[in-house]
Amino acid sequence: MEIDQTPPNAATSDTNSACGEFMDAESEPEQDERELSAGDLYQEAELEAEAEQQRHSIISELRDELSSRSRPRSALSPDGDGPGAAAGQSRDLAASVESLALSTSTSARTEDSGSSNALDEDAFDYQHDSVWRGQKKHIFILSEAGKPIYSLHGNEDKLVTLFGVIQALVSFVQLGQDAITSIHAGGIKFAFMQRNSLILVAASRTNMSIQQLQLQLSDVYYQILSTLTYSHISKIFEKRKNFDLRRHLTGSERLIYNLLANDSSNARVSNNIFTFLTNSIRVFPLPTTVRSTIVSAIQSNCSKIKKLVFAVLIANNKLIALVRMKNHSIHPADLRLIFNLIECSESFKNSENWTPICLPKFDMNGYLHAHVSYLTDDCPACLLLMSVDRDAFHILSEAKERITEKLRRSLCLQAIKDELQQPYNAKLYQQVVNIPDLRHFLYKPKATAQLLCPMLRHPYKSLQEFERLEAIYCRVLHRIHNTARPLKLIYEVKEREVVLAWVTATYELYAVFDSIVDKATVIKNVDKLIKWIEKEYDVYFIRNHATF
């Protein structure tokens, strides 16, 4: 209604009455607002929720509930507390950089490098490496004791002095009962985050806001939790402050890297970055009948299996179907971790797998056991059956066979393959082609945390232009969701494009048009687009995730 006397509203209201989840979202507008806009981007709210979670474990509850003989959970947690190799050394360094923070006069600095000579000798001279310095994005993860855990660029062993400085800054501010959140310098900003004995720092030269960087850091943090769980990390650091956590993260660096490399800073042109920016996931478009056949195939074959919590079918980084245990749901951040795992693991393609995975938003203290396999050799849809029972492999493996058979017979496999073989989604593409001035858009219904965006077309296929698009969305999303002063609508005419951002009670829309379009045309086209989305809603979104 802000735009015009918009018929789309009428359409939206129609769907509201038709859909249970929409109604819920509507009747509790306050909660809705908090959960989906501010809440997810707001670190403190998140921390609170986290503190809540730390107190109890859903997984152990589920186990207790479902089986009389609940076993201790530690069997699968990688238990290791070997000797911290360079423990004493790093303590020295931490102490010396502490004094660096106190007096950074040149003389003090040379003294410091003297005291940690052994380290400096083979330390990478990052200060004079223009490639390293000029990277668009850096991510550093270290322990509270200053032990390096991860660096996106450069070998973290060779950045040990820098990690020491970060640790000193963080702990120095902490001494004053405070916490660093960000630093801004010409052309670069740094976001800081401290969770569970870990310090995470992002440095960025892109348009991402501090809040967006922190969201990215929290995704990385969850990725680490997903490998180790919260309680395990806590235990390790309780025992030994300067434990080298890398020994437990071997193999998951690629997961962290893939999570971070999804944007233009890594010269990648893809829509993936937008799911992260809007804290959502994308849905694999399928006709309603096909999707419901798939869901019922999963339901009928899994409903008898106890302790099965989630069944997730995905393809091409998009969700085909999710069936869940009653009263439990998956947060989009957890789903993104699952997508990331599948995208990174070529090995899943060759055989059935049985892998522990922690979904931090679901339960940060325990593992789910996932049976992961692709439906068939020639169908790139991947099915994850996640159970709290660590002995369920064979049961789940049989269930998977039955589901695949059912989907084959009902031609659903073929439908998925057909959809994948199109270089783009034909209907969506046609719709976008019908609005020639519309270059790209993001549409997210407020009730679902799912995102619809068309494939990237000219001009955004080139990296340089894509960077601009990414910057536009970063800036617009930041303004709309600014925690201190949110906005309802932005209409911006720039030299190269016209941008419209519009948040209503039911959806968020961000649309990018050619720069020559006038306002009336934009409004007309947005109306057209919204109407079309409302009509095709069930192809592109899943209103309700079924239960077993």
Two tokens at 87? Answer: 């423990």
Closer to other proteins by Cβ: residue 316 or 482: 482
Closest approach of Cβ 329 to other proteins, in Å?
Answer: 24
> Which positions lie near other proteins, rule CB under 8 A?
1-6, 9-10, 12-13, 26, 29-30, 33-34, 100-108, 126-127, 133, 138, 162, 165-166, 168-169, 172-173, 177-188, 190, 203, 210, 479, 482-495, 504-505, 519-520, 523
Closer to other proteins by Cβ: residue 72 or 186: 186
Closest approach of Cβ 461 to other proteins, in Å?
Answer: 24
Amino acid (one-letter) located at 25: A
Residue with tokens 């702990």: 171
Q: Round to whole Å and give the CA distance between 480 and 100.
A: 40
Closer to other proteins by Cβ: residue 68 or 105: 105
Closest approach of Cβ 13 to other proteins, in Å?
Answer: 5
Q: Phi/psi of residue 24, each to 5°? A: -60, -45
Q: Round to whole Å and give the CA distance between 397 and 403.
A: 10
Cβ neighbour number for residue 261 with a 10 Å cutoff:
15
Q: Phi/psi of residue 461, each to 5°? A: -80, -20
Closest approach of Cβ 221 to other proteins, in Å?
Answer: 18
Closer to other proteins by Cβ: residue 181 or 196: 181
Closest approach of Cβ 61 to other proteins, in Å?
Answer: 23
Closer to other proteins by Cβ: residue 171 or 242: 171
Q: Phi/psi of residue 381, each to 5°? A: -90, 135
In a 10 Å sphere around its CB, with 0-12 CB exposed, 13-18 middle and 19+ buried, how is residue 337 labelled?
Answer: buried
Closer to other proteins by Cβ: residue 51 or 68: 51
Q: Round to whole Å and give the CA distance between 102 and 108.
A: 9
Closest approach of Cβ 194 to other proteins, in Å?
Answer: 10
Closest approach of Cβ 513 to other proteins, in Å?
Answer: 13
Closer to other proteins by Cβ: residue 30 or 377: 30
Closest approach of Cβ 83 to other proteins, in Å?
Answer: 31
Alpha carbon 345 to chain centroid, angstroms: 17
Instruction: Enumerate residues 6+ apart whose C-beta is below 8 A from 365.
Output: 53, 54, 57, 59, 60, 229, 230, 231, 358
Residue pair 126/162 in contact (Cβ under 8 Å)? The answer is yes
Question: For residue 222, which of 252, 192, 263, 266 has the smallest C-alpha distance?
Answer: 252
Cα distance between the two ends of the chain = 40
Alpha carbon 28 to chain centroid, angstroms: 26
Closer to other proteins by Cβ: residue 49 or 489: 489
Question: For residue 210, which of 228, 231, 198, 192 has the smallest C-alpha distance?
Answer: 192
